[in-house]
Chain A
Amino acid sequence: MKLTKRLFLGLAVGGTLATLPISALAQDWQPTRPIDFTIMAGPGGGADQIARFVQSVVEANDMTNRPLIPTNRGGGSGAEALLHLNDARDPDHTLMVTLNSFYTTPIRQEALGIDIETFTPITMMGVDPFVLWVHKDSGITDFDGFLAKVREMDGEYVMGGTGAGQEDSIVIAYMSGVYDLDIKYIPYDGGGAVAKDLAGQQIMATVNNPAEAKGFYEAGDFVPLLAFSDTRMDAYPDVPTIKELGHDFSYYNQRAIVGAPGMSDEAAAYYRDIFGQVYASDAWQDYLVSESLSPLPMDEAETRAYWATQVANHRQLLSEIDG
């Protein structure tokens, strides 16, 4: 008994000594090495811009004692990034900036064996709505004109997007389904290339995030016809939503920061605090307005529930596309 007691005491003292720095950290966890800030897309896209913006805000205000290191891992439509997080050796220092391939890629590529519900929710930075655009020279000014034109062309109407199973193709598939449209869809490898070919009228229409079409819209080259948001967008007050037309559908690109599976609660709390500060900063709030992102603040439990519904939604939408 005595032995046990002494042993216990010894263990306790030893434990306290050994954990002294760690328990200090437990209250106030700090990263001890550079933070892997994986971006689920190549350089230049919306996710990349957001990641670099967030990194700049963190760096400018000196919020972390170790730097965020943005790394583009866009390969395999985000599969590369998902695998990287899933196999992260150090989950406490591994974060990712997502778009919706976060949901679609694990569904479309089951061989990856990724279950996104094991990932750690950090912060939802905002959601990016989608808008249907045409070129001003097409003469189309409203959605009815668009529908008439597509039906008249009978299968020869060309739209561009970022590929089968990507965000815009889901929206286009839904729209074609409910309006019974026959559209020719050309996949590109990035939103910028799509916008460029719409500007050059190589394609006739696109569904794109406002950020990617903004420059052309302001110059008067692009005309927005329909928004796929829940309510009318502040930037385009005259553009109707598909909900107003009687279809219960909205679609957003999620701009969220998630942690690797198995991240400790202390680390997750630390990052939520940091990115919460970024979210609340004037710089980010201005960015939300200028790039027409919608805020969608959520806590951890809400995020998990949101993920579950998103996965179910995407599973259904994708199964409708793939037939």
Chain B
Amino acid sequence: MEVFSSLADGILLALMPINLMLILIGVTVGLFIGAMPGLGSVNGVAILLPITFLVPPSSAIIFLAAIYYGAMYGGAISSVTLGIPGASTAVATTFDGRPLALQGRASLALVTAALASFVGGTVATVLFTLFAPLLATMALSFGPPEIFALMLLAFATFVGLGGDDIPKTIFSICFGLVLATVGFDTISGEPRLVLFDIQGFLRGIGFIVLAIGVYGIGEMIWTIEQTRGEVTTTNPKMTAKGMMADSKEATKKGWKGTLIGSFLGFFVGVLPAAGATPGSLMSYGVAKMLSRTPEEYGKGSPDGVAAPEAANNSASTGSMLPMLTLGIPGSPTTAILLGGMVIWGLTPGPRLFLDQSEFVWGLIGSFYISNLAAVLINLAFIPLFVWMLRMPFTILAPLIFVLSIVGGFAASRSMHDLWLIVIFGLGAFFMRKFDYPLAPAVLAIVLGPIAEPTLRQSLLLSSGDPMIFLNRPIAGPITVIAIFLILLPAFKLLRRKKRVAAN
């Protein structure tokens, strides 16, 4: 019961006028920063860090957490309206959010995303409130072999995602994984795959460069070419009544994905090495696997929007947990929050809950309030974003190109990466023409940098013995499930062939 009285104090602290005001400002600012492709919570939190010197630490962290929350909501907006995942956490949202927008149902996609995010964030906060110390111990028991097994599982949930052409899907996965290795090999400390010896490649190829190239440039040119420039997305005017109808439909069609995303996202997000992106990808894959109508995924299923959105919000709350309890950041954004806490003279780590309980509970209390504020503010702005889509395509298209290039630079701060975006964009256009699925490459470039080092760290640990993935209590079962899932389609194919042969 002590938890509840602490929580009540925390919520009261978060409801103090100054904190409430900071939450409202933070969420709104975060929403717009997150909605810009290339910018994400990390930018918002980083620039506003110095401002927080003007207020006490407990208010400062509430403010920053509110920006973080707002940005997580905002990521879906760019995925749906522009078709560009603004942050790696929102990749899976494009898969179904974009088709919905093109069908003129952008409002449904945005409402679903907002509601799913709210549920995800709230579920995560409740789990956080009740089980924080327990979950911290769980996070610590995940070493390199466990994380690798988890990545294997993430890939396994995506086997069915590619197109019908299997060699092209495999090509795309391998391509993404190879691109992820460009730059610098942490394990040997050597530069690696510095393509054509251009020094710009030393920094590696970021997810955002490939994603903006593929979605912001390639997909756009493809759309213009396919439709002969006559794109017509007739989004109906937003009315309060329409929004109510959308909310109803979102609840009816998206509840399952929301639930899967909320829980799965949280548990993956709690693991410092994994974070929100694998969480949202796995939730999408699992939701599709468990769905009764998997064929609707990728064509505009509300469940396909709900699952990753619930998961990324849930996971971002989850990733606060290792930061607060262990002092270990699970993402770049939490890394900066952590730096902020050090600046304010707090020591994050195992003793924070005891030494600074008012601070911690104030923050947890603010999660509840921020979530509520975020969903309301987000819903209020949806008509604005839908209105943007009503612009003639010859105006919208150049705006998307401009946002892609400007956002691409903001994310990478390098001209080299801007040229890469253009090259990837043109390459993606031609690959798209010949039905190469590109989503697997984008996923691979996100998961590859987690999968490869953990594989090699594990094998270093075991002196090269691959049994390490099977004989550890947590890694073992995950690996077995992952291998089973990967082989499943092959089994199914074999069975079908046998049956055909028998007939």
Whether A200 touches B343, Cβ cut-off 8 Å, given contacts A52-B49, A60-B50, is no
A56-B53, A60-B50 as given contacts; A196 in contact with B202, CB under 8 Å:
no
Chain A residues contacting B352 (CB-CB under 8 Å) are 215
Q: Are B183 and A75 in contact (CB under 8 A)?
A: yes
A31 to chain B, nearest CB (A): 17
* Interchain nearest-CB distance for B159 vs A (Å): 28
Query: Which of the listed residues B322, B340, B347 has the most CB atoms from chain A within 10 Å of its own CB?
Result: B347
Contact B461 A196 (CB under 8 A): no
Which residues of B sit under 8 angstroms from A181, Cβ to Cβ?
none
Which chain B residues lie closer than 8 Å to A75 at the CB level? 183-184, 202-204
Which residue of the partner chain, among A71, A169, A211, contacts B413 with CB atoms under 8 Å? A71
Contacts of B50 in A (CB 8 A): 52, 55-56, 59-60
Cβ-defined contact, B203 with A216, below 8 A? no
Is A184's CB within 8 Å of the partner chain B?
Answer: yes
Confirm or deny: A272 has a beta carbon within 8 angstroms of a beta carbon on chain B: no
Q: For residue B334, which residues in chain A have a CB less than 8 angstroms away from its CB?
A: 44
Enumerate chain B residues within 8 angstroms of A166, measured Cβ to Cβ: 189
A178-210 vs B, CB cutoff 8 Å, 1 = contact: the mask equals 000000111111001101110111100000000
B332 touches A42 (CB 8 A): yes
A76 x B203 contact (CB < 8 A): yes
A108 to B189, CA, bound (A): 9
Chain A residues, Cβ within 8 Å of B53: 56, 59-60
| A200 CB contact (under 8 Å) in B49, B140, B332, B348 | B140
- Nearest Cβ in chain A — how far from B200, in angstroms? 9
B144 nearest CB across to chain A (Å) = 7
Q: How far is the CA of A296 from the CA of B329 in the complex (A)?
A: 29
Residues of B within 8 A of A266 (CB): none
Q: Does A214 interact with chain B (Cβ within 8 Å)?
A: yes
The one of B142, B188, B203, B332 that contacts A44, using a Cβ cutoff of 8 Å: B332
Contact-residue bracket for chain B: 35 or more
How distant is B187 from chain A, measured CB to nearest CB, in Å?
5
Cβ distance A81 to chain B, nearest Cβ, rounded Å: 9
Chain B 248-283, CB-CB to A under 8 Å as 1, else 0, gives 000000000000000000000000110000000000
**Beta-carbon contact of B326 and A215 below 8 Å:** yes
Q: How far is the CB of B172 from chain A (nearest CB, A)?
A: 25
Partner of B326, one of A184, A187, A196, A287: A196
Q: Check: B46 CB closer than 8 A to any chain A CB.
A: yes
8 Å CB contacts to B: which residues of A55-83?
55-56, 59-60, 70-71, 73, 75-77, 79-80, 83
A200 touches B339 (CB 8 A): no
Within 8 A of A (CB), among B3-26: none
Contacts of B339 in A (CB 8 A): 43-44, 48-49, 52-53
Chain B residues with CB under 8 A of A60: 50, 53
Distance (whole angstroms) from the CB of B95 to the closest CB of chain A = 28
Name the A residues within 8 Å of B141 (CB-CB). 200
In angstroms, how far is the closest chain B Cβ from the Cβ of A250?
Answer: 23
Contacts of B272 in A (CB 8 A): 192-193, 196
- Please determine whether B332 and A189 come into contact, CB atoms closer than 8 angstroms: no
User: Is the CB–CB distance between A49 and B189 below 8 Å?
Assistant: no
Tell me if B321 is interfacial: C-beta within 8 Å of chain A: no
Decide: B328 and A43 in contact? CB cutoff 8 A.
no
Q: Are A187 and B186 in contact (CB under 8 A)?
A: yes
How many Å from the CB of B35 to the closest CB on chain A?
21
- Residue B56 is within 8 A (CB to CB) of chain A in the complex: no
Contacts of A189 in B (CB 8 A): 186, 453
Task: Establish whether residues A214 and B186, one from each chain, have CB atoms under 8 Å apart when the complex forms.
Answer: no
Chain B residues near A165: list those with CB within 8 A: 189
- Whether A163 sits at the interface, judged by CB under 8 Å, is yes
Interface string of B82-106 (1 = CB under 8 A from A): 0000000000000000000000000
Cα-based distance from A308 to B261 in the complex (angstroms)? 55
Chain A hits for B326, CB < 8 A: 196, 199, 215-216
Q: Is the CB of B184 within 8 A of A219?
A: no
CB 8 Å contact bits of B177-220 with A (1 = contact, 0 = none): 00000011011111100000001001110000000000000000
In the bound complex, how far is the Cα of B47 from the Cα of A251, in angstroms? 33
Cα distance A211–B327 when bound, in Å? 11
Q: Return chain A residues, CB-CB under 8 Å to B46.
A: 43, 52, 70
Cβ-defined contact, B350 with A200, below 8 A: no
Q: A290 contacts the other chain (Cβ, under 8 Å)? A: yes
Within 8 A of B (CB), among A21-61: 42-44, 48-49, 52-53, 55-56, 59-60
Q: Is B336 an interface residue (CB 8 A)?
A: yes
Name the CB-closest residue of B to A38.
B413
B347 touches which of A42, A49, A201, A214 (Cβ 8 Å):
A214
Assuming the contacts A42-B332, A80-B202, asked whether A163 and B350 have C-beta atoms less than 8 A apart, the reply is no
Closest chain-A Cβ to B67's Cβ sits at a distance in Å of: 15
Q: Is the CB of A77 within 8 A of B140?
A: no
B349 contacts A56, C-beta separation under 8 Å? no
Give min CB distance, A289 to chain B, whole Å: 11
With A158-B461, A215-B349 in contact, do A53 and B142 touch (Cβ < 8 Å)?
no
Given contacts A60-B53, A108-B189, A112-B199, contact A186 B457 (CB under 8 A): yes
Chain B: CB-nearest residue to A164: B189
B184 touches A79 (CB 8 A): yes
- Determine the distance from Cα of A56 to Cα of B53 in the docked complex, in whole angstroms: 8
A-B contact pairs, 28 of them (CB 8 A): A43-B329, A43-B336, A44-B329, A48-B335, A49-B342, A49-B343, A52-B340, A53-B343, A56-B50, A56-B343, A71-B413, A75-B202, A76-B183, A80-B203, A108-B189, A158-B461, A187-B457, A188-B453, A192-B327, A193-B328, A195-B327, A200-B141, A200-B142, A201-B140, A215-B348, A218-B351, A286-B345, A290-B345
Q: With A43-B42, A52-B339, A200-B143 given, can you name 4 additional A-B contacts, CB distance below 8 Å?
A: A43-B335, A163-B187, A215-B348, A218-B347
What residues make up the interface of A, taking CB atoms closer than 8 Å to B? 42-44, 48-49, 52-53, 55-56, 59-60, 70-71, 73, 75-77, 79-80, 83, 108-109, 111-112, 158, 163-166, 169, 184-189, 192-193, 195-197, 199-202, 211, 214-216, 218-219, 221, 286-287, 290-291
